[in-house]
Structure 1
Amino acid sequence: MKLIVGLGNPGLKYQKTKHNTGFMAIDYYLKKNGLSFNKEKFEGFWIKTKIKGEDVILLEPQTYMNDSGKSVTQLVDFFKIDAHDILVIHDDMDMPVAKIRLRKSGKSGGHNGIKSIINCLNDSEFNRLKIGIDHPTKETVVSWVLTPFSSEDCTKMEATFATVSQIIDDFIDNKSIEFLMNKYN
């Protein structure tokens, strides 16, 4: 079973903000595949479905970014999902807008959502797909991540979400994270 997690903050106030890049990627994938969330449990919106013969759960935690690990851990414990079968999609300020980077495991890199997942799972051996949102030049980090993308950046992100959908399909198709890193990084 695969678990694909998109990180963000719940509510209309945050819907199109940079910090919701993970939610946007999952929403793109759901729409592309004619799927929608059908469950609200484990402190998140999720769907369990079969894709390419594989059981797959797509999740958007509704706990706010800093507590994302609560939702992820509840699903992992209930469905007995191995950390290597988890792909977490999130924003990254240390990369240019729309750039992607896959990572096999590691530390949080200062991302509070990832930090929460590591702490709650007591494990850092899950896969990450980082999507660049750039670093602020004049405003605070909090202000930056909670503002929407410019129209030019929205266009770039749309193309990135198409690539992210391919990555998700390859991950579901049991391509190794090393293969995915070589193909997409």
Structure 2
Amino acid sequence: MKLIIGLGNPGSQYEKTRHNVGFHVVDFLATTYSMRWERRGRAMIANGTIGIEKVVLVKPTTFMNNSGEAVGELVRWFKIEPDDILVIYDELDLPMGQIRLRPQGSSGGHNGINSLISHLHTNQFPRLRVGIGRPANSRIDTVNYVLGVPAGDERIELEISERKAAEAIPLYLEKGLEAAMNLLNVDPEAQRKAEEKKRLKQERREQEKRLKAERIEQEMTSKQAASGQQEPENLSVSD
């Protein structure tokens, strides 16, 4: 069994903020797999299966900075080891549209992860970070940014990122952490450059083939012309 934990803040005023992407992802999973939310202690949970894996979706209701209190209670209740949880949360240092799956690590300054590390007494638990990017205007306060509601195209981009994260969960459950990381943690720019390099290499190969074919054709034409000049004319003599 796995605990799939989305981090966020409860309450309608926070519902659509960047900081609540973890909630959005597990809500999407609950809808997709027909799971119903119910209260358990200081969290909302939804039980079900994804593929052949039994999962419990979790939304702590303790507010982001105290997420570890609710998660710690559930880990003890379900007798789950830290490596059987997956935490989903927003990441300022990832551009919008990118996600990263990691087996463990520091909090990177994220208060929700800080709280989990404190209450689980370890940082050895998998996490899926969803990029929200940093504000384009450096004068915008970070707290106001993460607690802000994106609008227009940014809202659409964030929803695409959240759906991408939700679609990564079945892959993680089916193939395991390491295999899923190899498939998911692809730098889009590096991938674009690799594809461009492959395309240019293919074009050069095709160009070399064309040039070789043209040289062979020219050589054959030259040989035929030379052969024609060396043969004596077949003159017809009439009596």
TM-score of the superposed pair, with normalisation by structure 2: 0.73
- Give 1:21-170 correspondences, 5 Å limit: 21-37=21-37, 39-136=38-135, 137-170=138-171
SS of 1:13's equivalent in the other structure is: coil
Task: Decide whether the 8 Å contact of 2:33 with 2:49 is kept in 1.
Answer: no
Deviates more, 1:152-161 or 1:22-31: 152-161
Task: Decide whether the 8 Å contact of 2:132 with 2:158 is kept in 1.
Answer: no
| Structure 1 consecutive aligned stretches of length 4 or more whose deviation exceeds 6 Å | none
Deviation (angstroms), 1:98: 2.5
Task: Decide whether the 8 Å contact of 1:56 with 1:172 is kept in 2.
Answer: no
Distance (Å, rounded) in 2 between the aligned partners of 1:2 and 1:171: 11
SS of 2:36's equivalent in the other structure is: coil
AA at the equivalent of 2:32: K
Greater helix fraction, Structure 1 or Structure 2: 2
Gap regions ≥5 residues in structure 1: none
Distance (Å, rounded) in 1 between the aligned partners of 2:118 and 2:112: 10
The count of aligned residue pairs is 183
Identity %: 40
Larger relative contact order, structure 1 or 2 (CA cutoff 8 Å, min sep 6): 1
Distance (Å, rounded) in 1 between the aligned partners of 2:48 and 2:34: 12
Distance (Å, rounded) in 1 between the aligned partners of 2:159 and 2:18: 13
TM-score of the superposed pair, with normalisation by structure 1: 0.94
Deviation (angstroms), 1:45: 0.5
SS of 1:126's equivalent in the other structure is: coil
Greater strand fraction, Structure 1 or Structure 2: 1
Task: Decide whether the 8 Å contact of 1:3 with 1:58 is kept in 2.
Answer: yes
AA at the equivalent of 2:39: E
Find the structure with the greater CA-based Rg: 2
Task: Decide whether the 8 Å contact of 1:102 with 1:130 is kept in 2.
Answer: yes
Deviation (angstroms), 1:28: 1.4
SS of 1:131's equivalent in the other structure is: strand
Deviation (angstroms), 1:33: 2.1
Distance (Å, rounded) in 2 between the aligned partners of 1:142 and 1:54: 36
Q: CA RMSD in A?
A: 1.2
Deviates more, 1:64-73 or 1:159-168: 159-168
Gap regions ≥5 residues in structure 2: 186-239
